[in-house]
Every structure is written in C-alpha cells, then in structure tokens.
Amino acid sequence: MSAITSNDEPLSHDQFMRYSRHLLMDDIGEEGQQKLSNSRVLIVGLGGLGCPVGLYLAAAGVGQLSLCDPDRVELSNLQRQVLYRDVDSEQYKVSCAERELSLVNPYISVISYPTEISAELIQDYDVVVDCTDNLNARQLINACCQKKKIPLVSASALGWEGQLVAFDFSQNRTLCLNCIVNKDSADPVLNCSNSGVIGPVLGAMGSLQATTVIRILLGFFEQHGEMQRYDGKIGRWMGLTTQADKNCEVCGAA
C-alpha cells in the first residue's frame, strides 16, 4: 500500500501532472485535490457497479479505498465487471481489484476485505458506496450509515435500467433507504444472476456513483434522498423525489 498524502504536504510534480485536470478547475484546485487525497471511502460490492466506482475514485486520487466483497471471480462476471480478466478466475474479487486499483494510482492506499459486510467494518469513513445486489446487505449498510452519520451512495441496475440515490446523513436529516425500499413485497427478488443486465448500464450507474462521491467529498452535494433513474433502452434520465417515512424504524425518530 502507498501512503496517503497528508493535507499539509504539497503535491509532488508527478501528482501535479496526474491531477492537472482537477487543478485547472476553479472549484477544485489544489485544495480540493488535497481533500480527495485525505478522504476514506468504503466500497461494498466489487461487481458491475463497484468496478467503475473503484476505477474512477482511484484515478481521481481518493486517498484510501477500502473494498469489501466475499465473492470470487467467475467467467460470467467478465461481461460487465471491468476490473477482472480470465486469469483472475476463482480469485477473490477484492484481491484482484486491489491489485488493479493500485496500478491505476500508486499514490493511494487500497485495503481489501474478502468478507461479507458487517457493522464492524463501517467505521470512520467519509462516504460509503453501496454497490451490492443483496437487500439484507443494503439495509445493514443504510442503518449503520444513518446511525454513524456517514454519507451513503447507493445504486442498482437490472436489464436496461439503473437507479441511484444518495443520503448525506452527516446533516441529521430524515429519509433513508429503508423509507424507500419495499421490504414486504411478495414478488420474487430479481437480480443480475436471474434476470440479466446490460454491462454499460452498470458502467453508467457506477460512474454516477463515483461522481456523487466526489461531490460529497468536495461539499457540492445537495440532493439528499433524490433518486436518479436511467432507462438505457430509450436513453433517458429521470429524477424522482421521495418522502421520509415517519414510522421508519431506521430514521423515523432521527
């Protein structure tokens, strides 16, 4: 692992060149790049969403990326999970992702956890990124982030469609993922494994997740609980506002 650049250290010449397109922007500059370099982000799920999230956050210079996923690479993953290759078959996804992201940017630190997500792992992060396809994991992540006041960026995709919603829990707001998700539906749970998905749709949603993380880290996020939906088949985005559930067992009493 490489050391994270501390906020009181100027960027090296190589870092200045690497991040020059950020430094040219008035609303980022060197101060903003130092914020990114001192940030800690947890990515839960290193599949079709987590791969582009990791690539873009690593390239952007987010100082520490922690990766959590218990799965190993399978041949069926390669249609959409862009960090992996044939030679990675049967290896832990997080180990392969740690290798690739460290090659993308040697100035960041990458830590891998080849395990299911747990409350104990969600500690002291600036943002948590939910890239899972498991409802129980999503609920656990949401509850932990809400309790610990950690911003959460969550996305999903199925078929041609994707959706993203983010919550800045650091602002003590109501409305969380638990308010939105229908936990009592009798319908079968659909996911990529049983229903399929278009790879670039996951790329689009993962890229939007990474953009949202950067916005939060730089202080530009103002869309708590607003859902972004994408229909790749007709090529349209749609924004939806949602309401807090006053009886929500997670945030109702917040």
Q: Answer for the pair 176, 245: CB distance below 8 angstroms, yes or no.
A: no
CA distance 250 to 246: 10
From 144, 176, 192, 251, the catalytic residue: 192
SS3 sequence, the chain?
A: CCCCCCCCCCCCHHHHHHCHHHHCCCCCHHHHHHHHHCCEEEEECCCCCHHHHHHHHHHHCCCEEEEECCCECCHHHHHCCCCCCHHHCCCEHHHHHHHHHHHHCCCCEEEEECCCCCHHHCCCCCEEEECCCCHHHHHHHHHHHHHHCCCEEEEEEEECEEEEEEECHHHCCCCCHHHHCCCCCCCCCCCHHHHCECHHHHHHHHHHHHHHHHHHHHCCCCCCCCEEEEECCCCEEEEECCCCCCCCCCCCCC
Catalytic annotation present for 248: no
Residues labelled as active-site residues = 192
